Structure 1
Amino acid sequence: MAEPRLKKHRGSLPACPGHRLVAGSRVRQSFPAAVEEGLCAVTSAVLELSYRLQALGEIFDQADVALPNFSKFFQHQAEEEKEVAEALLKYLQERGGHYCPRVLQRPNCQPISTVVKALEVALVQWKKVTAYFEELYALSIENTDPHSASTIKKQFIEPKIKKIKLIGDLLTNAHRLECSRDGRGNLGDYLMERLQKELKEDRIVGALWLMTPTPLHSFLGSASAKAQNLICNVSPPCNISIKATRIIKCQH
């Protein structure tokens, strides 16, 4: 018998209007409907963040911008967020929950062509997603779901806090070097590209991946093999493919 739908939680947590509970799940136990719906909505928000970061990475790879280290940085962050979404999907499956695929709109990143603006956008997006996780954590506590609360706090909130600190530091250095904001670029943009150690590929692989605690990867399981079914890397970033999700394509 399906658990009754709880009263809607008021707050900034995104809604999942078409969410439905899976009746007769044999593995479902003490998994409140409100928490399941919140997890479903936050998963979509993380996918949107991944898509936006991928779009930023493509912008810095264009010939008229030509900041390849920033491109690799944002592309890597997009891959990390995709793995976070996979971990959320895996957790939903383990608890007997159900994910509702939705359409992801193309991110409006065309006006962004400078380091400062890109970092500001990334910082705002990570803060927003972190706030969703924090509200989802509070919702789990409110609905007496300690397992979800512990998982959300340790595996998703703590890594996001470290990521916000990293982007904040990069933005501080960009302002210190007086990076451009008008899209024309200057010496500050070039120095950030060449000197900022966090942007180096070996530092990204060796250091930024360690920001995610090891237990996070335990939720991935076989989901890693299905990564391409969740999001397909595209260039330019106008299309995105999500399993069982209708696609909206940009018409150039």
Structure 2
Amino acid sequence: MTTVSPSQVRQHYHQGSEAAISRQIDLELYASCVHLSVSHYLDHDDVALKNFAKYFLHQSREEREHAEKLMKLQNQRGGRIFLRDIKKPDRDDWENGLNAMECVLHLEKSVNPSLLELHKLATDKKDPYLCNFIETHYLNEQVKSTKELGGHVNQLAQDGGPRIWHGRVTL
């Protein structure tokens, strides 16, 4: 194993924070892969939920952007990015729009505690920059995203599935 020389810009950046950010990057990339898998499943010709597919493709890009922001932060702080293998989604068949929304809602609910743990670690290590970064770029957005998905799940459950108007599936 080779030794990596310390960064010249590293200052007041705890190794635990660096490791936690690497784990969060992995989680954000996994979430991006799940959203991408859902998008392409729902875009398949025998499922044909095009608007759902577009929604999940957009969400996949957002999750990837979250990972990229964390990577940029890691570099700015003088940390190193240590990616682990990103596991494949737990399933390949998402069945329908409602089931896909429920699965992704469950995933989003698992991301929030991870962000809160990262924020707590930054607070415990007296790292106001990291606290502010997580608050500004992640916590509120995560709550909004979870609320939005929960609303979609509730609407779909009440309606019995996706609504179709003029041959177009809508959320």
In 2, Cα distance between equivalents of 1:72 and 1:195 = 11
Residues 36, 21 of structure 1: alpha-carbon distance in 2 compared, 3 angstrom cutoff: farther
SS where residue 44 of structure 1 aligns?
helix
* CA RMSD between the two structures: 1.9
Structure 2: runs of 5+ lacking an equivalent: none
Pick one of 113, 135, 154 that aligns with 2:117: 135
In 2, Cα distance between equivalents of 1:121 and 1:21 = 41
2:164 corresponds in structure 1 to 191
How does 1:1-252 map onto structure 2 within 5 Å? 22-179=4-161, 189-191=162-164, 194-196=169-171
Q: Is the 8 A contact 2:50 2:169 kept in 1?
A: no
Task: Note the alpha carbon deviations across 1:32-58, whole angstroms, 9 max, x for none.
Answer: 111110001110010000000000001
Q: Is the 8 A contact 2:52 2:169 kept in 1?
A: no
In 2, Cα distance between equivalents of 1:90 and 1:168 = 30
Q: CA deviation at 1:195?
A: 4.0
Give the letter aligned to residue 194 of structure 1: V
In 1, Cα distance between equivalents of 2:69 and 2:100 = 26
In 2, Cα distance between equivalents of 1:111 and 1:102 = 25
1:219 corresponds in structure 2 to none
Task: Note the alpha carbon deviations across 1:91-133, whole angstroms, 9 max, x for none.
Answer: 0000000011221222133232211111111111111111101
Q: CA deviation at 1:23?
A: 3.5
- Number of aligned residue pairs: give it: 169
In 1, Cα distance between equivalents of 2:96 and 2:53 = 12
* TM-score using structure 1 length: 0.63
Q: Is the 8 A contact 1:22 1:97 kept in 2?
A: no
In 1, Cα distance between equivalents of 2:132 and 2:105 = 25
Give the letter aligned to residue 81 of structure 2: Y
Q: CA deviation at 1:85?
A: 0.5
Give the letter aligned to residue 191 of structure 1: I
Structure ranking higher on relative contact order (CA contacts 8 Å, 6+ apart) = 2
SS where residue 194 of structure 1 aligns?
strand
SS where residue 98 of structure 1 aligns?
coil
Identical aligned residues as a percent: 27
Give the letter aligned to residue 103 of structure 2: V
* TM-score using structure 2 length: 0.92
Structure 1: runs of 5+ lacking an equivalent: 1-19, 180-188, 197-252
In 1, Cα distance between equivalents of 2:109 and 2:45 = 30
Q: Is the 8 A contact 2:26 2:84 kept in 1?
A: yes
